[in-house]
A and B are shown apart, each in its own frame.
Chain A
Amino acid sequence: NAGVTQTPKFRVLKTGQSMTLLCAQDMNHEYMYWYRQDPGMGLRLIHYSVGEGTTAKGEVPDGYNVSRLKKQNFLLGLESAAPSQTSVYFCASAGGEKLFFGSGTQLSVL
């Protein structure tokens, strides 16, 4: 039982490049979330999903897109990366009340 798995763990992009972060959970959870964590800012919600086929915007959605085609996977896409998107990204899922987090993706955009 792996819980929540995020890939990749690290990535360096050049401005304008695109990439997709994958979040996979094996707990049959309905709710999934993408957060970014920046120094002094706390966890900020980018997008979330309340079930397969659904997505919704969080606090800071601009520059990101998401898809939840399968219940177990929640993908976060950056179409044209910008230096302001340098951050640590965390995925989380929830079936009951508490959230289970992935190990994070450290992304640098140069």
Chain B
Amino acid sequence: ILNVEQSPQSLHVQEGDSTNFTCSFPSSNFYALHWYRWETAKSPEALFVMTLNGDEKKKGRISATLNTKEGYSYLYIKGSQPEDSATYLCASVNAGNNRKLIWGLGTSLAVNP
């Protein structure tokens, strides 16, 4: 994989549902994987930065896992709420790349009340 790919492109869930989406990234020369939340008409805000294979991070109802050997990360939202509606972006950073992030196109999540 040369680019960062996110799936699904969009997702509609009901309030209370749990959901997850995937970020695939180049596993060679890996340095870090970022997750950002981007609400409409706002700017992206960092959720997690993960560097080690097997890393798991949690922030409230949102958690993320990292597999650097196979080049994927999952983002989980437990008990989705309407305020979770946003685009979730992931980005990978390669070693020695001056911290340039390679961005995915995002997963757009809509949580219906």
Contact = CB atoms under 8 A, between A and B. Distances in A.
B98 A104 contact: no
B46 A100 contact: yes
Nearest to A101: B43
Contacts of B51: 97
B43 A102 contact: yes
Contacts of A56: 98
A50 B103 contact: no
Interface residues of B, number: 20
Interface in B66-95: 89, 91
Nearest to B93: A97
Contacts of A90: 43-44
A48 to B, nearest CB: 7
Contact of A45 (B46, B49, B100, B106): B100
Given A90-B43, A97-B49, A103-B43, A43 B98 contact: no
Nearest to A103: B43
Interface string B41-77: 0111110010100000000000000000000000000
Interface in A38-96: 40-45, 48, 50, 56, 58, 90, 94
Choose among A45, A58, A97 the residue with the greatest number of B CB atoms under 10 Å from its CB: A97
